[in-house]
Amino acid sequence: MKLEGSYIINASKEEVWLAMNNPEILQASIPGCESLEKLSETQFTAIVKAKIGPVKASFTGEVSLENLNPPHSYTLTGEGKGGLAGFASGAADITLSEHDEGTELQYEVEAQVGGKIAQIGSRLVGGAAKKLSDQFFRRFAAAINGEEENPE
Amino acid sequence: MPDTGNLTTGGIGDAVQRKEDFRFLTGRGTYTDDINRMGQTHAVFVRSPHAHAKIKSVDTSAASQASGVVGILTGADMVADEVGSLICGWNVVDRHGEGHKAPPHPPLAHDTVKHVGDQVAVVIAETLAEAQAAAELVDVDYEVLAANVDTASAMSGPEIHPEAPGNLCYDWILGEEATVDAALANSAHVTELDIVNNRLVPNPMEPRAAIGEYDMATGEYTCFSTSQNPHVLRLILCAFVLGIPETKLKVIAPDVGGGFGSKIFCYAEETTCVWASKKVGRPVKWTSTRSEAFLTDAHGRDHVSHVKLGIDADGKFTALKVETIANMGAYLSTFASSVPTYLYATLLAGQYTTPVIFCNTKAVFTNTVAVDAYRGAGRPEATFVVERIVESAARELGVDPAELRRKNFIQPDQFPYETPVALTYDTGNYEASLDKAMSMIDYAGFPARRATSEANGKRRGIGISAYIEACGIAPSAVVGSLGAGVGLWESAQVRFNATGTVTVFTGSHSHGQGHETAFAQLASTKLGIPFENVEVVHGDTSKVPMGMGTYGSRSLAVGGSAIDRACDKIIEKGKKIAAHLLEAAVEDIEFADGNFTVAGTDKAKAMGEVVFTAYVPHNYPEGVEPGMDETAFYDPGNFTYPAGTHIAEVEIDEATGVTEIVDWVAVDDFGNIINPMIVEGQVHGGIAQGVGQALLEGTVYDPESGQLVTGSYMDYCMPRADDLPSFRVDMTTTACTHNPLGVKGCGEAGAIAAPAALINAITHATGTMTVEMPATSERVWRALQENN
Amino acid sequence: MQNFDYHKPNSVDDAVNHMKSSDDGKFLAGGMTMLPTMKQGLAAPKDLIDLVGVGLNGITENSGSLVIGAMTTHADVASNATVRSKLPALADLAEGIGDRQVRAKGTIGGSISNNDPAADYPAALVALGATVKTNTREIPAGDFFVDMFETALAEEEIVVSVSFPTTAQAAYAKFPNPASRYAMVGVFVANGPDGARVAVTGAGSSVFRVSAMESALDGGFSSGSLDGISVPADDLNSDIHASPEYRAHLVSVMAMRAVDACS
């Protein structure tokens, strides 16, 4: 499935770009991210506890930064295995552009789920992906703006 | 001894209640999962979550340390043991004279996985919970490959098997294309239609299950399995997959809770359980979860077709051209190749005199579970093509669809009728069933009913489906010449016990059809003994002579005929014994109503007396063997051709697009009837399944990821009682000319007839050429928008 | 399903204490969502705290409102004489939830705490202006439902009861998903002292009100007033059963049917 949207962040493109490459900010932004360990400048291993309603699954996998074009754009990809729940993967193309109020962050996410969550939860997958993706960018924008976003 | 000679209940033609229903309705059936063997272990399969991936590694180290684990086996273990590939038993030869592509189908994948749910490993543990927990610890590392799930575009998608370039299993034809093209070019009118026959998940109430057991003392295996054809399963397991002598494998299919075709096939799971039982030295049991059933039971249908029907100025059909792409799934299942070819194209004449017909079927591989026979198997797809295009042609020409059909029907005096697609219909009267159905539904009164509906904001439509099927599958010589790897005769053994009760052993298999009742009625009438005195035994290869099982509406026409023949042998032998007892010539002995009599006299011996004499042969004819136990194998001379007309009437809520089926009449010609109640039940069930296909059931794989999106009842919609009207069912009868019972078979008719009737009714209401199946409320609503 | 510890407290306080002392606990109401999820291996709480014995069952009438205990089953709401006479739309809604087995076990408290985007009750609570009473506070329905599967409840907070004003004419029109029979679109319309309320479930990520319809109905409470008023499709759910456009269309149709059924 595809998702897209944009956020206005009250910071310069360079500041946003630095944040986009900061593991601490990434970890704080990824909903349910319990750990993000650096393998290289652009590769991380992650443990994410996803919680959607009654479903609670722990995904372990990799997060990586690709197609780096500082300070304009990159692709943030992630894939994780969730045991019985199945797997989830996604790639977000993120583009920065200058804006009157700072920087506009535009994203296009291509996400896939597989295994049991795809087999029995199809009516909820779209909504859940949208919710998680909104949470990510909202927290990300908040982190750069120096705001406290309530973790959920 | 019970009273003999009372044939008013339980003989042929009586609507006697089913013997088996007491145990089924009170929860006393014995299904495979009810069986527990001494020392039994439990198997859980590790399945691919990906539609298409390379297996980089399978790490079982953590799982093998888990509590209760007895063994973990992988594809590599199967390779080491030289376990064979699961086979397809019907070789379809393509238009270039080459056999179909049947790429390897390892029961446990060891190299690549090709659909979501493909088996990678099996975890065997003391308890089911321990097996489940350990299965979660098996770590499979995959390299995900691009998935290819869409039927229409499969040939241009990512390649699935190196053995099948372009994902083409075969490119098959029936008929002469040039002749048909020329006839179409010369036709006054040509109607064209794109037709999708939606993919279905079978959903029998009982999921598949298996227990494999190995007896180290005798070297003998036992496989308890939810099979529709235990002997065929034994044959495949022994001769092709596991290399066990047939003397060393016993297959038992106990009570089986529905199959609809999906339990014909030899699957990976029972194969694995049998193989693993020797590896771990303990019985191994597996019962499918409903989620696994969605992922791994062979699905049905899944055709995409382009169809052209030519019509001359008088409204006579001149030619039919059908080009179909049929989805085989990831592997070629047991009989998959025959379904969109010999069980499909051969029925494209329908009830009509269309002189020339051409069919091209391209079978394609996709990253979906295998597609194989599902109630009707090819014939629902053929009926849908024919009855949709005929209905559409009538609407284009502005003629009454009933009249266009009537004008093109094969007439009663034309039988036996040789169609241009390789079948010879033995008998029928198509106009009789059409007339009866039209009268039952008050076809003439439809315009008035439509006006009333329109005044209430409803659209009303009426749709006809005049179907035919070839069933009673079938003549071995014919199917053999078409590529079948087996004969399709049937066996029966009729054993009188000394006290006059009868055990009938049949090679067919009941998984809901009511064999225990119908076959008892048959033997009761034929032998003149009480219905209660007959027991029917089936489903155990160690008890029953080799038989071919139940599918293709064949049990009565083929298996019943075998029983009839075995009874004939009993009667012939009885005549010899009776002649001796009555001191008369064998030629003078007549048999009727359970009594042997000397012609023209009142001298008689009852069957019971004769049987007792056969087992206590103190006073016995010379040269006659003792005992009364006869076996017959029956191989029919032709298929049977049940046919009829179903008419559906619907009302559609204009605001929402919701379709309500307001009336349904079915007039079927099944030849002679053994038990009208069972027949009516079969018709009801078949229509319900057909309505499910047309209105509710649709299988969706995500086009990008190849995930099965309709993998549970949250999203896969099975018909419920309140989706269905009260069906009105009636019969016309032309007796089958070539089997001793004059019967044709009724198990699939409803599922064959129903989808076209319903979609014809819905499109009649919407005024559009088509509404795709399942005709969901949104699709119907959009059709109404399109037409407004 | 993984092993878990089962607790059956006999008071709300006791239940809360169990939850506080667990590092991975879940409250269990009717279990109609929780148990299938656990059986599928999609949730594996260490502690399951069953609320069946904490005394939250029952329906009482209380000066212009109906108070329904959180553990009251759908079947009890559907068949209760007081609900039938004072708020028949709510009884009808309860009668249309799931199937007979689900209605016999599923509870109003469990349903609203779960806040499935296609559940029926949220529409009734929002349209009727109900108040959710928890062990710590009272929350107006409009603030209770936050987003899909998300409510205003804190981790250790338990719904005690729901109080429905009985002063409105009301009706619920549901378009069920043919497979699951959850609401593909469900519209609850109420017309009370505070004016018309139109609450929609199944169509969006969570229950929402349609103010354009409400003001149109305030101008004249008849289905004709809704003619031509639709909700934008952009943010509506999309799945294999219905596109956002069709859901938007159904919202209008179901709203009109609910208004017609109010009389």
pLDDT bracket for residue B9 (50, 70, 90): confident
Does residue B693 form part of some domain? yes
Residue A64 sits at φ, ψ, to 5 deg, of -140, 160
Q: Are B418 and B382 in contact (CB under 8 A)?
A: no
Of C45, C114, C117, the CB nearest to A127: C117
Distance CA B452, CA B458 (A): 9
Q: Does B442 touch chain A (CB under 8 A)?
A: no
Q: What subunits touch chain C, counting only 3 or more CB pairs under 8 A? A: A, B
Contact at CB, A53 and C149, closer than 8 angstroms: yes
Q: Is the pLDDT of residue C32 over 50?
A: yes
Residues A35-82 have pLDDT tens digits of: 999 999 999 999 999 888 889 989 999 999 999 999 999 999 999 998
The separation between CA C52 and the C-alpha centre of its own chain, rounded to angstroms, equals: 19
pLDDT confidence bin for B4, thresholds 50/70/90: very low
Please report, for residues B645, B657, B694, C195, the alpha-carbon distance to residue B773 in angstroms, rounded to integers and kept in the order given.
Answer: 20, 14, 5, 44
| B56 interfacial to chain A (CB closer than 8 Å) | no
Same domain, B470 and B327: yes
Q: Which residue of B has its CA nearest to C181?
A: B714
Examine the pLDDT at B777 and tell me if it is beyond 90: yes
CB contact under 8 A, C148 and A152: no
Cα separations (Å) of B471 from B344, B351, B353?
12, 15, 20
Residues C29, C69 within the same domain: no
Same domain, B385 and B340: yes
Residue with tokens 């002292």: C193
Minimum distance, in Å, between the CA of residue B778 and any CA atom of chain A: 16
Say yes or no for a CB contact (<8 Å) between B656 and C40. Answer: no
Structural domain that includes position C12: 5-52
Domain count for chain B: 3
Amino acid at the residue B488: L
What is the average pLDDT across B752-764? 98
Q: Of B618, B634, B650, which residue sits at a domain end?
A: B634
pLDDT of B1 over the 60 cut: no
Cis, bond preceding B230 (omega within 30 deg of 0) = no
Task: Say whether both C83 and C106 belong to one domain.
Answer: yes
Task: Find where tokens 């299938």 sit.
Answer: C36
- Supply the ipTM of this predicted assembly: 0.96
Average pLDDT on C38-62 reads 95
Check B291 against A84: CB less than 8 A apart: no
Residue B755 has pLDDT above 90, yes or no: yes
Report yes or no: B705 at the A interface, CB cutoff 8 Å: yes
Q: Does C240 reach chain B within 8 Å, measured CB to CB?
A: yes
Q: Is the CB of A55 less than 8 angstroms away from the CB of C37?
A: yes
CA nearest to B46 within chain A: A84
Domain match, C150 and C63 both: yes
B9 domain residue, yes or no? no
* Nearest chain B Cα distance for residue A135, angstroms: 24
Shared domain check, B240 and B388: no
Do B726 and B665 belong to one domain? yes
> Is the domain of B597 the same as that of B566?
yes
Q: Is C117 on the interface with A (CB under 8 A)?
A: yes
Residue B2's pLDDT band, with cuts at 50, 70 and 90, is very low
B516 within some domain: yes
Confidence tier at A151 by pLDDT (50, 70, 90) = very low
Residue among B782, C150, B237, C67 at smallest CA distance from A31: C150
CATH number of B518's domain: 3.30.365.10
In a domain, B158, yes or no: no
The crossing angle, in degrees rounded to 10, of helices B561-582 and B515-527 is 30
Name which of A68, A80, A74 is nearest A117 in CA terms: A80
Cα separation, B559 vs B565, in Å, equals 10
Measured distance CA(B256)–CA(B266) in Å, rounded: 15
Task: For residue C93, give the nearest of C214, C186, C213, C2 by alpha carbon.
Answer: C186
Q: Do B136 and A116 touch (CB under 8 A)?
A: no
Mean pLDDT score, B726-738: 97
What is the pairing mode between strands B659-669 and B728-731?
parallel
Distance from CA of C253 to the nearest CA of B (A): 7
Q: What is residue B168's DSSP assignment?
A: E
Is the pLDDT score of B464 beyond 60?
yes
CATH number at B212 reads 3.90.1170.50
Contact B512, B625 (CB under 8 A): no
Does C178 contact B129 at a Cβ distance shorter than 8 Å? Answer: no
* Residue B71 three-state SS: strand
B602, B634, B666 - which closes a domain? B634
Same domain? B627 vs B647: no
Considering the domain architecture, whether residues B651 and B617 belong to the same structural domain is answered as: no
Closest-CA distance of chain B to residue C197, Å: 22
Inter-chain CB pairs, B–C, below 8 Å: 42
Q: Dihedral (C-alpha) B562, B567, B570, B575: value to the nearest 10 degrees? A: -130
Mutation for B interface: C185, C253, C259, most B CBs within 10 A: C253
Q: How far apart are CA B302 and CA B321, in angstroms?
A: 19
Contacts of A122 in chain B (CB under 8 A): 709-711, 714-715
Q: How far is B700 from chain C (nearest CA, A)?
A: 8
Under the banding of pLDDT at 50, 70 and 90, the label for residue B527 is very high
Say which residue the tokens 């349609």 belong to: C210
Per CB-CB distance under 8 Å, the chain B contacts of A86 are 49
Q: Are residues B417 and B447 in the same domain?
A: yes
Q: In chain A, which residues have their Cβ closer than 8 Å to the Cβ of B116?
A: 114-115, 119
Q: Residue A85 is part of a domain; what is its CATH number?
A: 3.30.530.20
Using one digit for the tens of pLDDT, what is the confidence trace for B390-414?
A: 999 999 999 999 999 999 999 999 9
Show the domain range for A43: 2-143
Domain count within chain C: 3
Q: Establish, for the pair of chains A and B, how many residue pairs have beta carbons separated by less than 8 Å.
A: 48
Q: Is residue B479 part of a domain?
A: no
- b/e per residue, B247-279, with b = 16+ CB within 10 A? eebbbbbbbbbbbbbbbbbbbbbbbbbbbbbbb
Q: Which residues of chain B have a CB within 8 Å of the CB of A119?
A: 116, 291, 294-295, 707-709, 711-712
Instruction: Determine whether the interchain pair C253/B656 forms a contact, defined as Cβ–Cβ distance below 8 Å.
Output: yes
Contact A118 B707 (CB under 8 A): yes
Long-range contacts of A61-68 (CB under 8 A, 24+ apart): A61/A87, A61/A89, A63/A26, A63/A30, A63/A36, A65/A20, A65/A21, A66/A42, A67/A93, A68/A42
Condensed to tens digits (0 to 9), the pLDDT of residues B563-598 reads: 999 999 999 999 999 999 999 999 999 999 999 999
pLDDT > 90? residue B712: yes
With a pLDDT cut of 70, the percent of chain C lying above it is 100
Over residues B277-305, mean pLDDT: 98
Same domain, B449 and B514: no
Q: Do C2 and B133 touch (CB under 8 A)?
A: yes
When pLDDT is cut at 50, 70 and 90, the band that residue A148 belongs to is: low
Asked if C246 reaches chain B (Cβ–Cβ under 8 Å), the answer is yes
Q: Does residue B716 share a domain with residue B600?
A: no
What is the spatial distance between Cα B777 and Cα B228, in angstroms, rounded to a whole number?
Answer: 36
Assigned domain for B182 exists: no
CATH number of the domain that residue C22 is part of: 3.30.43.10
User: pLDDT-based confidence at A1, cuts 50/70/90?
Assistant: confident
If you measure CA to CA, which chain C residue comes closest to B131?
C1
Residue at a domain's end among B634, B657, B691: B634
pLDDT in tens, B170-188: 999 999 999 999 999 999 9
Phi, psi for B328 (deg, rounded to 5):
-95, -10
In this prediction, residue B571 carries a pLDDT of 98
| Contact assignment for A114 to B710 by CB distance below 8 Å | no
For residue C229, give the CATH number of its domain. Answer: 3.30.390.50
- CA–CA separation, C78 vs B253, rounded Å? 45
Provide the pLDDT for residue B738: 94
Please write the tens of the pLDDT for every residue from B222-252.
Answer: 999 999 999 999 999 999 999 999 999 999 9
Q: Are C207 and C238 within one domain?
A: yes
What does the alpha-carbon distance between residue B365 and residue B371 come to, in Å, rounded to a whole number? 10
For B282, list phi and psi in degrees, rounded to 5.
Answer: -145, 155
DSSP per position, chain A: -EEEEEEEESS-HHHHHHHHT-HHHHHHHSTTEEEEEESSSSEEEEEEEEEETTEEEEEEEEEEEEEEETTTEEEEEEEEE-GGG-EEEEEEEEEEEEETTEEEEEEEEEEEEETHHHHH-HHHHHHHHHHHHHHHHHHHHHHHTTPPPPP-
Domain that holds residue B137: 32-145+207-256+263-296
CB contact under 8 A, A114 and B704: no
In a domain, B188, yes or no: no
Partner A, chain B 59-118, Cβ-Cβ below 8 Å = 116
Q: Are residues C102 and C140 both part of a single domain? A: yes
Q: Are residues C255 and C175 in the same domain?
A: yes
CA angle B680, B686, B690 (to 5 degrees): 145
Task: Single out the residue of B205, B261, B217, B265 nearest to residue B241, CA to CA.
Answer: B265
- Say yes or no for a CB contact (<8 Å) between A86 and B715: no
Q: Do B710 and C240 touch (CB under 8 A)?
A: yes
| Whether B716 and B772 share a structural domain | yes
Q: Residue B362 and residue B287: Cα distance in Å, rounded?
A: 35
Total of domains in chain A = 1
> What pLDDT sits at residue A123?
86
Calpha distance B198→B374 (Å, rounded): 12
Q: What is the DSSP letter of B69?
A: E
- Inter-chain CB proximity B294 and A119 less than 8 Å: yes
Taking a C-beta distance cutoff of 8 angstroms, is the pair B263, B204 a contact?
Answer: yes
Sheet architecture: strand order including C159-165:
C59-62, C65-69, C159-165, C131-134, C138-140
* CATH classification at residue C83: 3.30.465.10
Q: Report pLDDT for B3.
A: 42
